[in-house]
Chain A
Amino acid sequence: MAIDQELKIEMGKQGVVVTTLQELYNWGRKSSVWPMQFGLACCAIEMIATTMARYDLARFGAEVFRPSPRQADLMIISGTVTKKMAPQVVRLYNQMGEPRYVIAMGACAISGGPFKQGYNVLKGIDRYIPVDVHIPGCPPRPEALLQAFITLQNKIQAQPLTGPNRPRHLDAEAQGEFPVPVQGEHDLEPTSNPGVWTVPVVIR
Protein backbone atom coordinates (compact mmCIF):
# COMPACT_ATOMS: atom_id res chain seq x y z
CA MET A 1 0.00 0.00 0.00
CA ALA A 2 1.62 3.19 -1.15
CA ILE A 3 1.53 6.25 1.02
CA ASP A 4 1.77 9.86 -0.10
CA GLN A 5 5.25 10.95 1.04
CA GLU A 6 4.33 14.64 1.39
CA LEU A 7 1.32 13.75 3.50
CA LYS A 8 3.46 11.49 5.63
CA ILE A 9 5.99 14.28 6.28
CA GLU A 10 3.22 16.77 6.99
CA MET A 11 1.61 14.41 9.51
CA GLY A 12 5.01 13.77 11.06
CA LYS A 13 5.28 17.49 11.74
CA GLN A 14 1.98 17.28 13.56
CA GLY A 15 3.27 14.41 15.70
CA VAL A 16 1.47 11.63 13.89
CA VAL A 17 3.56 8.70 12.70
CA VAL A 18 2.21 6.98 9.65
CA THR A 19 3.78 3.87 8.18
CA THR A 20 2.91 0.73 6.30
CA LEU A 21 3.34 -2.83 7.43
CA GLN A 22 5.73 -3.44 4.54
CA GLU A 23 7.92 -0.49 5.49
CA LEU A 24 8.04 -1.50 9.13
CA TYR A 25 8.66 -5.15 8.33
CA ASN A 26 11.47 -4.41 5.87
CA TRP A 27 12.99 -1.86 8.24
CA GLY A 28 13.23 -4.58 10.84
CA ARG A 29 14.67 -7.07 8.36
CA LYS A 30 17.27 -4.76 6.90
CA SER A 31 18.49 -3.60 10.31
CA SER A 32 19.38 -7.03 11.64
CA VAL A 33 21.13 -8.86 8.83
CA TRP A 34 23.47 -11.26 10.56
CA PRO A 35 26.35 -12.49 8.44
CA MET A 36 27.73 -15.97 8.67
CA GLN A 37 31.13 -16.25 10.27
CA PHE A 38 33.35 -17.82 7.67
CA GLY A 39 36.15 -16.59 5.47
CA LEU A 40 37.75 -18.24 2.48
CA ALA A 41 40.89 -16.23 1.71
CA CYS A 42 42.52 -12.81 1.97
CA CYS A 43 39.21 -10.96 1.46
CA ALA A 44 38.22 -12.35 4.85
CA ILE A 45 40.90 -10.12 6.43
CA GLU A 46 39.16 -7.07 4.95
CA MET A 47 35.83 -8.44 6.16
CA ILE A 48 37.24 -8.74 9.68
CA ALA A 49 38.58 -5.19 9.42
CA THR A 50 35.09 -4.04 8.42
CA THR A 51 33.62 -5.42 11.62
CA MET A 52 36.26 -3.77 13.82
CA ALA A 53 36.01 -0.35 15.42
CA ARG A 54 37.49 1.71 12.59
CA TYR A 55 34.85 0.78 10.00
CA ASP A 56 32.31 -0.68 12.41
CA LEU A 57 29.79 -2.79 10.55
CA ALA A 58 27.76 -2.78 13.79
CA ARG A 59 26.39 0.64 12.80
CA PHE A 60 24.24 -1.21 10.25
CA GLY A 61 22.99 -3.91 12.57
CA ALA A 62 25.32 -6.59 11.29
CA GLU A 63 27.80 -6.93 14.11
CA VAL A 64 26.78 -10.44 15.10
CA PHE A 65 28.67 -12.92 12.96
CA ARG A 66 26.91 -16.20 13.54
CA PRO A 67 29.04 -19.33 13.63
CA SER A 68 26.10 -21.45 12.49
CA PRO A 69 24.37 -21.21 9.09
CA ARG A 70 21.03 -21.81 10.84
CA GLN A 71 21.25 -18.43 12.56
CA ALA A 72 22.72 -16.43 9.70
CA ASP A 73 20.94 -14.29 7.11
CA LEU A 74 23.86 -13.21 4.97
CA MET A 75 26.66 -15.19 3.41
CA ILE A 76 29.72 -13.12 2.53
CA ILE A 77 31.77 -15.16 0.05
CA SER A 78 35.03 -13.56 1.08
CA GLY A 79 37.75 -14.97 -1.13
CA THR A 80 38.75 -17.62 -3.62
CA VAL A 81 36.31 -20.50 -3.93
CA THR A 82 38.37 -23.54 -4.82
CA LYS A 83 36.70 -26.49 -6.48
CA LYS A 84 37.45 -28.47 -3.34
CA MET A 85 35.58 -25.91 -1.21
CA ALA A 86 32.67 -25.15 -3.57
CA PRO A 87 30.42 -28.10 -2.51
CA GLN A 88 30.82 -27.07 1.12
CA VAL A 89 29.89 -23.45 0.32
CA VAL A 90 26.72 -24.61 -1.48
CA ARG A 91 25.93 -26.97 1.40
CA LEU A 92 26.28 -24.13 3.94
CA TYR A 93 24.03 -21.97 1.79
CA ASN A 94 21.45 -24.77 1.74
CA GLN A 95 21.53 -24.92 5.52
CA MET A 96 20.75 -21.22 5.95
CA GLY A 97 17.19 -20.31 6.74
CA GLU A 98 15.18 -17.91 4.56
CA PRO A 99 15.44 -15.00 4.03
CA ARG A 100 19.06 -15.40 3.02
CA TYR A 101 21.32 -13.18 1.00
CA VAL A 102 24.73 -13.57 -0.60
CA ILE A 103 27.47 -11.00 -1.15
CA ALA A 104 30.23 -12.14 -3.52
CA MET A 105 33.23 -10.22 -2.23
CA GLY A 106 36.25 -9.66 -4.44
CA ALA A 107 37.48 -10.69 -7.85
CA CYS A 108 37.87 -14.38 -6.94
CA ALA A 109 34.37 -14.86 -5.62
CA ILE A 110 32.74 -13.16 -8.62
CA SER A 111 34.84 -14.67 -11.42
CA GLY A 112 37.82 -16.65 -10.18
CA GLY A 113 39.96 -13.51 -10.31
CA PRO A 114 43.68 -13.97 -10.90
CA PHE A 115 43.23 -17.74 -10.54
CA LYS A 116 40.52 -17.93 -13.21
CA GLN A 117 42.57 -20.02 -15.62
CA GLY A 118 43.69 -22.45 -12.95
CA TYR A 119 42.51 -26.03 -12.73
CA ASN A 120 41.43 -25.74 -9.11
CA VAL A 121 39.41 -22.51 -8.80
CA LEU A 122 35.71 -22.05 -9.42
CA LYS A 123 35.04 -19.28 -11.95
CA GLY A 124 32.57 -17.42 -9.77
CA ILE A 125 30.27 -18.66 -7.00
CA ASP A 126 27.23 -17.39 -8.95
CA ARG A 127 27.51 -20.59 -11.00
CA TYR A 128 25.92 -22.49 -8.11
CA ILE A 129 24.03 -20.09 -5.84
CA PRO A 130 22.16 -16.83 -6.48
CA VAL A 131 24.24 -13.77 -5.58
CA ASP A 132 22.60 -10.51 -4.51
CA VAL A 133 25.55 -8.09 -4.54
CA HIS A 134 28.90 -8.41 -6.32
CA ILE A 135 31.85 -6.30 -5.14
CA PRO A 136 34.89 -6.02 -7.42
CA GLY A 137 38.36 -5.48 -5.99
CA CYS A 138 41.34 -7.50 -4.97
CA PRO A 139 40.62 -7.32 -2.12
CA PRO A 140 37.82 -4.73 -1.88
CA ARG A 141 38.40 -2.11 0.78
CA PRO A 142 36.17 -2.18 3.88
CA GLU A 143 34.32 0.85 2.47
CA ALA A 144 33.42 -1.28 -0.55
CA LEU A 145 32.01 -4.00 1.70
CA LEU A 146 30.02 -1.34 3.60
CA GLN A 147 28.76 -0.05 0.24
CA ALA A 148 27.71 -3.58 -0.71
CA PHE A 149 26.00 -3.98 2.62
CA ILE A 150 24.08 -0.71 2.21
CA THR A 151 23.14 -1.79 -1.33
CA LEU A 152 21.78 -5.02 0.12
CA GLN A 153 19.84 -3.07 2.77
CA ASN A 154 18.30 -0.87 0.08
CA LYS A 155 17.39 -4.00 -1.85
CA ILE A 156 15.69 -5.48 1.23
CA GLN A 157 13.92 -2.18 1.94
CA ALA A 158 12.50 -2.04 -1.58
CA GLN A 159 11.20 -5.62 -1.61
CA PRO A 160 7.38 -5.74 -1.82
CA LEU A 161 5.80 -8.30 0.50
CA THR A 162 3.37 -9.51 -2.13
CA GLY A 163 3.55 -10.15 -5.83
CA PRO A 164 6.17 -11.91 -7.94
CA ASN A 165 9.13 -10.01 -6.45
CA ARG A 166 8.30 -10.84 -2.84
CA PRO A 167 11.08 -12.20 -0.61
CA ARG A 168 11.73 -15.90 -0.97
CA HIS A 169 10.64 -16.76 2.57
CA LEU A 170 7.14 -15.52 1.75
CA ASP A 171 7.05 -17.53 -1.47
CA ALA A 172 6.09 -21.15 -0.89
CA GLU A 173 7.19 -22.04 -4.42
CA ALA A 174 10.71 -20.66 -4.02
CA GLN A 175 13.61 -23.03 -4.39
CA GLY A 176 14.89 -24.00 -0.98
CA GLU A 177 17.71 -26.37 -1.71
CA PHE A 178 20.29 -25.90 -4.42
CA PRO A 179 22.03 -28.94 -5.89
CA VAL A 180 25.47 -29.53 -4.41
CA PRO A 181 28.10 -30.18 -7.10
CA VAL A 182 29.87 -33.53 -6.96
CA GLN A 183 33.66 -33.68 -7.05
CA GLY A 184 34.26 -35.75 -10.16
CA GLU A 185 37.32 -37.35 -11.71
CA HIS A 186 38.38 -34.23 -13.64
CA ASP A 187 36.16 -31.36 -12.53
CA LEU A 188 33.06 -30.51 -10.53
CA GLU A 189 29.92 -32.11 -11.90
CA PRO A 190 27.94 -30.28 -13.10
CA THR A 191 30.21 -27.31 -13.84
CA SER A 192 27.33 -24.89 -13.17
CA ASN A 193 23.72 -24.90 -12.03
CA PRO A 194 21.69 -23.96 -15.13
CA GLY A 195 18.77 -22.90 -12.92
CA VAL A 196 20.93 -20.18 -11.40
CA TRP A 197 23.50 -19.33 -14.05
CA THR A 198 23.41 -19.29 -17.82
CA VAL A 199 26.30 -18.30 -20.05
CA PRO A 200 26.11 -14.50 -20.37
CA VAL A 201 26.04 -13.19 -23.91
CA VAL A 202 29.18 -11.20 -24.63
CA ILE A 203 28.42 -8.30 -26.96
CA ARG A 204 31.41 -6.89 -28.83
Chain B
Amino acid sequence: MKTIEEIQAAIEAAVPGGEVTIVMNPSPAAQHSLLVGAGKAVAVAKFLRDDAELALDFCSNVTGVDWLDREIAEKVKVTKTVTKTVDGVEQQVEETVEETVKRAVPGYLECVYHLYSVAKKHGPVVIRMRTANRSDMVELPSLTPIWRGAEFQEREVFDLYGIVFTGHPDLRRILMWDEFKDHPMRKDYVLPDDFEYEPTPHDDVLKRAEAHRADVAQEGAAQ
Protein backbone atom coordinates (compact mmCIF):
# COMPACT_ATOMS: atom_id res chain seq x y z
CA MET B 1 0.00 0.00 0.00
CA LYS B 2 1.03 3.59 -0.47
CA THR B 3 2.62 5.38 2.44
CA ILE B 4 0.64 8.07 4.17
CA GLU B 5 2.67 10.79 2.40
CA GLU B 6 1.92 9.22 -0.99
CA ILE B 7 -1.77 9.04 -0.18
CA GLN B 8 -1.72 12.68 0.84
CA ALA B 9 -0.01 13.64 -2.41
CA ALA B 10 -2.49 11.59 -4.44
CA ILE B 11 -5.43 13.30 -2.73
CA GLU B 12 -3.88 16.75 -3.27
CA ALA B 13 -3.46 15.93 -6.96
CA ALA B 14 -6.99 14.59 -7.38
CA VAL B 15 -8.90 17.02 -5.17
CA PRO B 16 -7.32 20.46 -5.25
CA GLY B 17 -7.83 22.36 -2.00
CA GLY B 18 -8.60 19.22 -0.08
CA GLU B 19 -6.80 20.62 2.98
CA VAL B 20 -5.28 17.25 3.83
CA THR B 21 -2.65 17.24 6.55
CA ILE B 22 -0.91 14.30 8.15
CA VAL B 23 -1.36 13.66 11.88
CA MET B 24 1.65 11.61 12.93
CA ASN B 25 1.35 8.89 15.54
CA PRO B 26 4.64 8.78 17.46
CA SER B 27 3.86 5.46 19.16
CA PRO B 28 5.37 2.16 17.92
CA ALA B 29 2.09 1.42 16.14
CA ALA B 30 2.88 4.37 13.84
CA GLN B 31 -0.69 4.46 12.60
CA HIS B 32 -0.61 7.90 11.05
CA SER B 33 -3.83 9.52 9.97
CA LEU B 34 -5.02 12.14 7.52
CA LEU B 35 -6.82 15.22 8.76
CA VAL B 36 -9.30 16.21 6.09
CA GLY B 37 -10.91 19.64 5.90
CA ALA B 38 -14.68 19.52 6.23
CA GLY B 39 -15.26 21.50 3.03
CA LYS B 40 -13.98 18.95 0.52
CA ALA B 41 -14.32 15.85 2.70
CA VAL B 42 -16.98 14.18 0.55
CA ALA B 43 -14.87 14.66 -2.60
CA VAL B 44 -11.79 13.29 -0.78
CA ALA B 45 -13.77 10.30 0.48
CA LYS B 46 -15.14 9.63 -2.99
CA PHE B 47 -11.59 9.69 -4.37
CA LEU B 48 -10.34 7.29 -1.68
CA ARG B 49 -13.12 4.86 -2.50
CA ASP B 50 -13.01 5.10 -6.30
CA ASP B 51 -9.26 5.43 -6.91
CA ALA B 52 -8.07 2.28 -8.70
CA GLU B 53 -4.94 1.88 -6.60
CA LEU B 54 -6.37 2.71 -3.14
CA ALA B 55 -9.90 1.30 -3.63
CA LEU B 56 -10.85 1.81 0.04
CA ASP B 57 -14.27 0.26 -0.37
CA PHE B 58 -14.90 -0.68 3.27
CA CYS B 59 -15.45 1.72 6.17
CA SER B 60 -14.95 -0.54 9.17
CA ASN B 61 -15.26 1.93 12.01
CA VAL B 62 -16.50 5.44 12.70
CA THR B 63 -15.95 7.01 16.07
CA GLY B 64 -15.81 10.36 17.79
CA VAL B 65 -13.27 12.08 19.99
CA ASP B 66 -13.90 15.02 22.28
CA TRP B 67 -11.01 17.46 22.63
CA LEU B 68 -11.60 19.95 25.42
CA ASP B 69 -10.45 23.57 25.42
CA ARG B 70 -6.91 23.49 26.71
CA GLU B 71 -4.04 25.74 27.59
CA ILE B 72 -0.55 25.22 26.25
CA ALA B 73 2.31 26.51 28.35
CA GLU B 74 5.34 27.38 26.22
CA LYS B 75 8.72 28.56 27.37
CA VAL B 76 9.82 31.58 25.38
CA LYS B 77 13.16 33.43 25.65
CA VAL B 78 12.57 37.13 26.07
CA THR B 79 15.31 39.78 26.05
CA LYS B 80 14.65 42.57 28.52
CA THR B 81 16.42 45.70 29.61
CA VAL B 82 16.91 45.51 33.35
CA THR B 83 18.34 48.10 35.70
CA LYS B 84 21.10 46.53 37.76
CA THR B 85 23.69 47.68 40.17
CA VAL B 86 27.08 46.60 38.93
CA ASP B 87 30.13 47.61 41.02
CA GLY B 88 28.06 50.21 42.87
CA VAL B 89 26.94 51.90 39.64
CA GLU B 90 23.42 51.61 38.25
CA GLN B 91 23.49 50.35 34.70
CA GLN B 92 21.04 49.34 32.00
CA VAL B 93 21.79 45.70 31.22
CA GLU B 94 20.16 43.52 28.58
CA GLU B 95 19.20 40.14 29.97
CA THR B 96 17.68 37.07 28.36
CA VAL B 97 14.96 35.56 30.55
CA GLU B 98 12.89 32.44 30.01
CA GLU B 99 9.22 33.15 30.39
CA THR B 100 6.23 30.83 30.31
CA VAL B 101 3.59 31.98 27.89
CA LYS B 102 0.17 30.41 28.11
CA ARG B 103 -1.86 30.00 24.96
CA ALA B 104 -5.50 28.89 24.85
CA VAL B 105 -6.32 26.27 22.22
CA PRO B 106 -10.06 26.01 21.54
CA GLY B 107 -11.56 22.56 21.81
CA TYR B 108 -13.21 20.67 19.01
CA LEU B 109 -15.01 17.45 18.25
CA GLU B 110 -13.34 14.97 15.97
CA CYS B 111 -14.74 12.17 13.87
CA VAL B 112 -12.43 9.30 12.91
CA TYR B 113 -13.00 6.85 10.05
CA HIS B 114 -11.04 3.60 9.59
CA LEU B 115 -10.98 2.54 5.95
CA TYR B 116 -9.96 -0.79 4.45
CA SER B 117 -9.86 -2.19 0.98
CA VAL B 118 -11.49 -5.57 0.57
CA ALA B 119 -10.60 -5.66 -3.12
CA LYS B 120 -6.90 -4.85 -2.59
CA LYS B 121 -6.65 -6.44 0.88
CA HIS B 122 -4.98 -3.47 2.50
CA GLY B 123 -5.64 -0.92 5.18
CA PRO B 124 -6.39 0.70 7.46
CA VAL B 125 -6.24 4.27 6.26
CA VAL B 126 -7.42 6.55 9.02
CA ILE B 127 -9.05 9.86 8.17
CA ARG B 128 -10.25 12.48 10.63
CA MET B 129 -12.48 15.51 10.45
CA ARG B 130 -12.71 18.26 13.05
CA THR B 131 -15.54 20.64 13.93
CA ALA B 132 -14.91 24.34 14.42
CA ASN B 133 -15.75 24.24 18.12
CA ARG B 134 -17.59 22.18 20.71
CA SER B 135 -20.73 24.27 21.17
CA ASP B 136 -22.54 25.75 18.17
CA MET B 137 -20.48 24.92 15.07
CA VAL B 138 -20.53 21.14 15.25
CA GLU B 139 -21.47 20.30 11.68
CA LEU B 140 -19.45 17.85 9.61
CA PRO B 141 -20.30 16.41 6.21
CA SER B 142 -21.72 12.90 6.40
CA LEU B 143 -19.77 10.19 4.58
CA THR B 144 -22.76 7.84 4.54
CA PRO B 145 -23.38 8.58 0.83
CA ILE B 146 -19.86 7.21 0.17
CA TRP B 147 -19.81 4.28 2.61
CA ARG B 148 -23.34 3.09 3.41
CA GLY B 149 -22.10 1.22 6.47
CA ALA B 150 -21.25 4.49 8.19
CA GLU B 151 -24.93 5.29 8.69
CA PHE B 152 -25.54 3.75 12.13
CA GLN B 153 -22.09 4.65 13.40
CA GLU B 154 -22.54 8.29 12.44
CA ARG B 155 -25.88 8.22 14.25
CA GLU B 156 -24.07 6.86 17.28
CA VAL B 157 -21.47 9.66 17.09
CA PHE B 158 -24.33 12.17 16.76
CA ASP B 159 -26.04 10.63 19.79
CA LEU B 160 -23.04 10.38 22.11
CA TYR B 161 -20.85 13.32 20.98
CA GLY B 162 -23.32 15.71 19.35
CA ILE B 163 -21.61 16.03 15.98
CA VAL B 164 -24.27 16.97 13.40
CA PHE B 165 -23.69 15.21 10.08
CA THR B 166 -25.03 17.23 7.18
CA GLY B 167 -26.26 15.08 4.32
CA HIS B 168 -26.99 12.09 6.56
CA PRO B 169 -30.16 10.32 5.33
CA ASP B 170 -31.64 9.60 8.78
CA LEU B 171 -29.94 11.50 11.59
CA ARG B 172 -31.69 10.49 14.81
CA ARG B 173 -30.48 9.29 18.18
CA ILE B 174 -29.74 5.58 18.07
CA LEU B 175 -28.88 4.56 21.65
CA MET B 176 -30.50 7.12 23.93
CA TRP B 177 -34.15 8.11 23.73
CA ASP B 178 -35.29 10.97 21.50
CA GLU B 179 -36.13 13.32 24.41
CA PHE B 180 -32.59 13.03 25.80
CA LYS B 181 -30.67 16.32 25.60
CA ASP B 182 -27.10 15.47 26.66
CA HIS B 183 -24.21 13.83 24.87
CA PRO B 184 -22.90 11.26 27.34
CA MET B 185 -19.47 10.61 25.81
CA ARG B 186 -18.40 14.24 25.98
CA LYS B 187 -15.79 14.86 28.63
CA ASP B 188 -17.85 17.56 30.37
CA TYR B 189 -20.97 15.38 30.64
CA VAL B 190 -22.52 15.41 34.11
CA LEU B 191 -23.99 12.12 35.31
CA PRO B 192 -27.58 12.14 36.62
CA ASP B 193 -27.44 12.42 40.38
CA ASP B 194 -28.82 9.06 41.52
CA PHE B 195 -26.23 8.10 44.09
CA GLU B 196 -28.70 7.98 46.98
CA TYR B 197 -28.12 4.27 47.64
CA GLU B 198 -24.54 2.99 47.39
CA PRO B 199 -23.86 -0.11 49.48
CA THR B 200 -20.12 -0.20 48.71
CA PRO B 201 -19.06 3.33 47.68
CA HIS B 202 -15.49 4.17 46.75
CA ASP B 203 -13.52 7.05 45.14
CA ASP B 204 -15.81 9.46 43.25
CA VAL B 205 -18.88 7.43 44.12
CA LEU B 206 -18.04 7.75 47.82
CA LYS B 207 -17.92 11.56 47.52
CA ARG B 208 -21.25 11.66 45.71
CA ALA B 209 -22.86 9.22 48.15
CA GLU B 210 -21.60 11.27 51.11
CA ALA B 211 -23.10 14.43 49.60
CA HIS B 212 -26.42 12.60 49.47
CA ARG B 213 -26.05 11.39 53.06
CA ALA B 214 -25.45 14.98 54.18
CA ASP B 215 -28.65 16.05 52.38
CA VAL B 216 -30.66 13.30 54.06
CA ALA B 217 -29.24 14.22 57.48
CA GLN B 218 -30.13 17.88 56.93
CA GLU B 219 -33.69 16.98 55.95
CA GLY B 220 -33.97 14.78 59.02
CA ALA B 221 -32.75 17.63 61.24
CA ALA B 222 -35.22 20.07 59.64
CA GLN B 223 -38.11 17.73 60.30
Nearest-neighbour CB distance to chain B for A201, whole angstroms, equals 9
B-facing mask of A73-90, CB < 8 A → 1, else 0? 000000000011000000
Q: Tell yes or no: A199 within 8 A of B by CB.
A: yes
A-facing mask of B186-218, CB < 8 A → 1, else 0? 000101101011110000010000000000100
Interface centre among A120, A185, A186, A191 (most CB of B within 10 A): A186
Q: Tell yes or no: A175 within 8 A of B by CB.
A: no
- With A119-B189, A119-B191 known to touch, is A199 a contact of B196 (CB < 8 Å)? yes
CA distance A65 to B199 in the complex (A): 35
Residues of chain B with a CB closer than 8 A to A200's CB: 197
Contact A123 B194 (CB under 8 A): yes
Contact B199 A187 (CB under 8 A): no
Contact B199 A202 (CB under 8 A): yes
Contact A120 B184 (CB under 8 A): yes
A-facing mask of B69-94, CB < 8 A → 1, else 0? 00000000000000000000000000
Nearest-neighbour CB distance to chain B for A125, whole angstroms, equals 14
Q: In A109-124, which residues have CB < 8 Å from any B CB?
A: 117, 119-120, 123
Residues of chain B with a CB closer than 8 A to A185's CB: 179-182
Nearest-neighbour CB distance to chain A for B152, whole angstroms, equals 16
B-facing mask of A94-130, CB < 8 A → 1, else 0? 0000000000000000000000010110010000000
Dominant secondary structure at the A interface: loop
Contact B179 A191 (CB under 8 A): no
Residues of chain A with a CB closer than 8 A to B191's CB: 117, 119
Residues of chain B with a CB closer than 8 A to A184's CB: 179
B-facing mask of A33-75, CB < 8 A → 1, else 0? 0000000000000000000000000000000000000000000
CA distance A200 to B199 in the complex (A): 9
Contact B176 A84 (CB under 8 A): yes
Contact B197 A199 (CB under 8 A): yes
Q: In A152-204, which residues have CB < 8 Å from any B CB?
A: 183-187, 191, 199-200, 202
Residues of chain A with a CB closer than 8 A to B205's CB: 117
* Closest CB pairs A-B (n = 3): A187-B192, A185-B181, A183-B177
| Beyond known contacts A123-B194, A186-B180, A200-B197: 11 more, CB 8 A cutoff | A84-B177, A119-B184, A119-B189, A120-B184, A183-B177, A183-B180, A185-B182, A186-B181, A186-B182, A202-B197, A202-B199
